Structure 1
Amino acid sequence: MTTPTDYVHGYSTHETRRLGDQADTLAALLHSGTAYPAGSRVLEVGCGVGAQTVHLLAASPEAHFTAVDISADSLAQARTHVTEYAPDAHISWHQANLFELPFPEAAFDHVFVCFVLEHLTAPRRALTALRRVLRPGGTLTVIEGDHGSTFFHPHSAYAHATIDCQVQLQATAGGNALIGRQLHPLVTAAGYEDVVVRPHTVYADRSRPALVNGFTRNTFITMVESIREDALAAGLMNPSDWDRGIADLHRTATAEGTFHYTFFKALAVNPPSR
């Protein structure tokens, strides 16, 4: 798994707030249909600051959760956030690398992975490693975005170029911001069965102000804006073109604009050992 310094978006307070905005805004879209039975053992890999954890707990208050992240700082923030939200939740916390999880074989009934694979240099190997701790017949849920699915009005080549800077920087760091479209072959190649992938589309216009603010402005545009210095230092764009691109992205969040993005959610089963 990546080390903390490999996380392309950084570990700032600003990024923590962005992750929370994203999770809260998209909870109904991304977590729909994700609920675990009472008493089931659920592993959340790459829990980060707990932005998704609180929504998992809300949907499955009687399940027993184990949250893992490689960053001690993120894990501490997650523990604080979740304790404030659900002080009686059945949850334990572990700092660990997903390739070296400190759990016995078949320790969990379900595994949940959200916005993790995009940051890994070996996502298929990560999925394969998770099969060791998932019982035969247990389920895997994976959610990832795909920056190539972004389109908007008014159209702007400059705005698309700023997004492509994010894609290129993430690739340089060993990740893949286009991984959403690859989930089915990735999960299948890792040995899972009954793999089903479905798109979950975010569409925002003036009739959906919560999505315009929560996703277009506070999640997506904020994410792109945060890489300005890295993109310019890498020579991916010049300052004037970058600033024009960001201004054009903000136009998509005005009364005249629209914005579209697609997340992909995979469900699969860990088959019995043969």
Structure 2
Amino acid sequence: MTTETTHRTAVHEDVQDHRPGYVHGYSVTEARRLGEQADTLAELLHAGTAYPAGGRVLEAGCGVGAQTVHLLASSPGVRLTAADLSAESLARAREAVAAHAPGARVDWHHGDLHDLPFADGSFDHVFVCFVLEHLARPQAALAALRRVLRPGGTITAVEGDHGSAFFHPDSAPARAVVDQLVRLQAAAGGDALLGRRLHPLLADAGFRDVAVEPRTVYADGSRPALVEGFTRRTFIAMVESVRADALAAGLTTAAAFDRGLADLRRTAEPGGTFHYTFFKAVAVRP
């Protein structure tokens, strides 16, 4: 049975909350995109991650629970604490877990992962996915997570790297709209290229035995599920969602952005291909 340590907050579909640090916003459309991304990539990203029953696990930055439900599916019986800065996201995460993992033991924490209220060594394992890329001080966040992890405990971190995206047909306008997303995320204090930095970030935060693996997505006409679930509904949808912000920031014109987006969509049509690399790191607290 789930337990709750946060209040529930009403969520409205027409609200776009663009808080500093999360360039994609908190709309229902974005929550849906995150869920589709997690479902499409579940085997790719969660393979090799399974925690023993009874283990104390912290998911830092659980968001809308898109990864939480897969974490619980691969590690039944864990004592999971799911933490996030957004009360709206936590409300959605709680609903997702109730729907997809009824009976799971989850404590919900609303707060900043830089300032967690847990005692030193409170957790056996920490899981953080698609969070560090949105933080202005990812190394400081990792140091804070290191504090609440017991000696010998593990941290698993998963991040993308938009610089790893390449596709056919190639197109300068398409590459430009991807670059605009990278620039907007940087302006918000994040780093959409963080995946390539996971090893030094973890090492500099005091973790040892850092091991990083690339997890590659390649989609073409022979893999229609990935074309639809990743190329169209995850990556292209993510780029499309920042159109208004790119225009407001003066990074492009409406015509130029729409041309780039149209070219990007061609990669999901017959004859198109798309490649992207995620990075998954596991490290140990000394």
Q: How far has the Cα of 1:237 moved from its partner?
A: 1.4
Out of 26, 42, 45, which is 2:41 matched to? 26
Contact map agreement 1:4 1:70 (CA 8 A) in 2: no
Q: Report the counterpart of residue 127 of structure 2 in structure 1.
A: 112
Letter of the structure 1 residue corresponding to residue 217 of structure 2: V
2:160 maps to which residue?
145
2:19 equivalent in structure 1: 5
Per the normalisation by structure 2, the TM-score is 0.93
Q: Which residue of 1 aligns with 2:173?
A: 158
- 2:77 aligns to what? 62
User: What root-mean-square deviation, in Å, do the aligned CA atoms of Structure 1 and Structure 2 show?
Assistant: 1.0
Decide whether aligned partners of structure 1 residues 223 and 19 sit closer, same or farther in structure 2, where only a CA change above 3 A counts: same
Structure 2 distance, partners of 1:73, 1:234, is 26
Deviation at 1:66, TM superposition (A): 0.5
Q: Which amino acid aligns with 1:122?
A: R
1:218 corresponds in structure 2 to 233
Residue 116 of structure 2: aligned partner: 101
Count of residues in Structure 1 that have an aligned counterpart in Structure 2? 269
On the 8 A contact 1:44/1:68 being kept in 2, the answer is yes
Gapped regions of structure 1 (runs ≥ 5): none
Determine the structure 2 residue equivalent to 1:193: 208
* Residues 224 and 4 of structure 1, relative CA distance in 2, 3 Å threshold: closer
Q: Give the residue type in structure 1 aligned to 2:277.
A: T
Mapping of 1:120-131 within 5 angstroms? 120-131=135-146
Q: Is the 8 A contact 1:143 1:264 kept in 2?
A: yes
Does residue 205 of the first structure (1) align with residue 220 of the second (2)?
yes
2:3 matched to which residue of 1? none
Map of 2:89 onto structure 1: 74
- Find the aligned partners of 1:131 and 1:230 in 2 and give their Cα distance: 35
- Of 57, 66, 69 in structure 2, the residue corresponding to residue 51 of structure 1 is 66
Are the aligned partners of 2:18 and 2:24 in contact in 1 as well (CA < 8 Å)? no
- 1:163 to partner: Cα distance: 0.3
Query: Out of 243, 257, 263, which is 1:248 matched to?
Result: 263
Maintained 8 Å contact 1:201/1:262: yes
User: Identity percentage over the alignment?
Assistant: 68
Distance 2:192 2:164 in 1: 10
Where does residue 10 of structure 2 map in the other structure? Answer: none
Secondary structure of 2:216's counterpart equals: strand
Q: Deviations over 1:128-152 (max 9, x none)?
A: 1111100000000000000000000
1:97 deviates by 0.5
Partner of 2:9 in structure 1?
none
Deviations 1:167-200 (A, max 9, x none): 0000000000000000000000000000000100
Query: Structure 1 runs of 4+ off > 3 angstroms?
Result: none
Paired residue for 1:265? 280
> CA–CA distance in 1 between the matches of 2:101 and 2:232?
28
SS in 1 for 2:190: coil
